[in-house]
Amino acid sequence: MESKESSLETSTPNVSPSAAASNAYALGLTQFQGFWIPSSRVPTSSIISFQKYFQALDDDIIVASKPKAGTTWLKALVFTIVNRHSYTLSNIPLNSENPNLDLSKIPSPRVFSTHLPYSMLADSIKRSNCRIVYITRNPFDIVVSLWHFVRGVHNLPDWPLEDCFEMFCRGEESYGPFWDHALGYWNMSVEKPSNILFMRYEELKEDSVAQTKRLAEFLRFPFSLEEEKIGVVNQIIDFCSFNNLKDLEVNKTGKMPRSIIPSLIPSHKLFFRSGKVGDYINHLSPTAVERLSNVLKEKLSESSLTFN
Ligand SMILES: Nc1ncnc2c1ncn2[C@@H]1O[C@H](COP(=O)(O)OS(=O)(=O)O)[C@@H](OP(=O)(O)O)[C@H]1O
């Protein structure tokens, strides 16, 4: 499990644009258990330890996602919904710091976040009654968001979008392939709907109220009629909105608490770019869109999961 950290850091600080362009290894990704994992951020040994030793509790909550699918947004919503009786929106820790992730100090229910695919989660999570919320997003916006992020984190202003796009289509991207990541959680959400909620960035944008209420109910923290009447749902939505989070002082000036590559400590700013649905239209050609659509059609052909 990882906290709100960059998952795209490389173990080669001076990676050149051409090297980054050529393959996933140049971006510090390692193929492990069928996925491309950022080995510098999440060494495979720590994944094995997590799989073996992590003890899930029945009331644990796990926010799961592929990078750039809406992790920051969903984490803020889940934390705020679950802790709304402990804090007010003016003193909630999200205003100033990352929540304390020391396992022994996290109050119940513990809220974790991970980019790991379902197949890599600890067995204790799969056996427990804990809740997993997965968020996904249309892959066209994900690839554009990812490209901006990698360029920012690695200081690669000239890295061509085409190279990032090609890697994405081959499945060679952080925690990719995208389709296998989404399918793992999708299939489990169909099999165990009371334990795994499958959410979409676009639906959360389109109908924030209905989706936030759905999320709160799933987490077993439903809004009371009184709360709905006095506008708590909208207050939480507004607090967690792109515009509000982006403008918090901690997100304008803050940096990740740690990085194993000191020169590449990402600032919080990088997690807030445009926050829009469909921005890919400004970056991807119709041919590229068709290409990725065809890849998805093929990879998801056996499943009921679709992306527009
Ligand atoms: N509150 C809120 N509401 C809506 N959208 C938001 C929000 N916070 C972040 N964002 C946008 O989400 C994109 C970053 O994705 P992630 O948070 O999954 O990134 S990461 O996994 O934490 O690296 C990235 O998307 P793009 O703007 O398309 O690049 C962010 O701008």
Q: What pLDDT shows up at residue 10?
A: 34
For 143-175, letters b (16+ CB in 10 Å) and e give: bbbbbbbbbbbbebeebebebbbbbbbebbbbb
CA of 68 to the centre of ligand 1 (A): 6
Q: What pLDDT shows up at residue 152?
A: 85
**Segments of the chain scoring below 50 in pLDDT:** 1-19, 260
Pocket around ligand 1: residues whose beta carbon is below 6 Å from it?
Answer: 65, 67-73, 141, 145, 148, 240-242, 245, 271-275, 279
Alpha carbon nearest to ligand 1 atom 30, residue: 272
Alpha carbon nearest to ligand 1 atom 12, residue: 70
Q: What pLDDT shows up at residue 239?
A: 97
Total of domains in the chain: 1
pLDDT digits 0-9 by tens, 172-201: 999 999 999 999 999 999 999 999 999 999
Q: What pLDDT shows up at residue 263?
A: 57
Whether 6 maps to a domain, the answer reads no
Whether 251 maps to a domain, the answer reads yes
Mutate to test the pocket of ligand 1, among 9, 66, 72, 206 (most ligand atoms within 8 A of CB): 72
Looking at ligand 1, which atom is closest to the CA of residue 115? 21
| Closest alpha carbon to 239 in 142, 94, 116 | 94
Average pLDDT, the chain: 88
Q: What pLDDT shows up at residue 266?
A: 74
If phi over 0 gives left and psi between -120 and 50 gives alpha, with beta otherwise, what is residue 70? left
Whether 10 maps to a domain, the answer reads no
Q: Tally the C-alpha atoms within 13 A of residue 180's C-alpha that lie toward its C-beta.
A: 18
CA of 246 to the centre of ligand 1 (A): 10
Is 154 known to be catalytic?
no
CA of 85 to the centre of ligand 1 (A): 26
Cα 177 to Cα 34: distance, rounded to the nearest angstrom:
9
Whether 5 maps to a domain, the answer reads no
Entry pTM: 0.92
Alpha carbon nearest to ligand 1 atom 15, residue: 68
Whether 8 maps to a domain, the answer reads no
Whether 210 maps to a domain, the answer reads yes
Q: What pLDDT shows up at residue 3?
A: 40
Identify the domain containing residue 184 by its residue range: 26-300
DSSP reduced 3-state for 87: coil
Whether 106 maps to a domain, the answer reads yes
CA of 274 to the centre of ligand 1 (A): 8
Whether 33 maps to a domain, the answer reads yes
Q: In CATH, what number is assigned to the domain containing residue 161?
A: 3.40.50.300
Write down the catalytic residue from 85, 115, 148, 154.
Answer: 115
Q: What pLDDT shows up at residue 264?
A: 65
